[in-house]
Amino acid sequence: MRPPAERVLVVSNEILAAANEVPEAIRPLVEDAEEIYVIAPTLTSRLQWVASDLDGARVAAGQRLHTVFDHMHANGLKPHGTIGEEDQIVAIADALAEFDADLIVLRLHAPNSEHESWHEHRIAERVRSHFNLPTMVFFFDDEGHVVARQNA
């Protein structure tokens, strides 16, 4: 068993509808960390992407980021972070340029769920192929509950 990560990068794609705290499955990873950096990628719909309309997606990403911050603060954690680029690989690379993470945590919608973004398709595989860091993937249902976990 490896030691707990000291610097955790959290990529948050989902909005926790009913939850008001850090999900129990993720809590041990962030509670043991010395630093937590959160990015909320700008997730556009296909129509927004075609029209290069990022404004609404950036607002939603900002709301998602603040929700994650609120949940972490409620659990006594002190994260920092930012809104990320639309391309999640670029968003993660940008974050890693500023934050030397030793673990990446992906918070994704469950595959085929109502809120799954087309940007999430195969993102865990892409992260694994681009970055040489341990990666944990948590899949959330539409009510904000963890339904699956995977080491990427």
Question: What pLDDT was estimated at residue 81?
Answer: 96
Is it the case that residue 18 has pLDDT exceeding 50? no
DSSP state of 115: T
DSSP state of 18: S
pLDDT band at 8 (very low <50, low <70, confident <90, very high): very high
Which residue type is seen at 7? R
Is it the case that residue 111 has pLDDT exceeding 60? yes
Percent of the chain, pLDDT > 90? 30
What is the assigned CATH class of domain 7-151?
Answer: alpha beta
Q: CA dist 24 to 43, 64, 108, 133, Å?
A: 25, 18, 15, 23
Question: What pLDDT was estimated at residue 89?
Answer: 93
Give pLDDT tens digits for 27-43.
Answer: 888 888 999 999 999 87
85 φ/ψ angles, rounded to the nearest 5 degrees: -65, 165
Is it the case that residue 118 has pLDDT exceeding 70? no
Q: Is 106 helix (H, G, I), strand (E, B) or coil?
A: strand
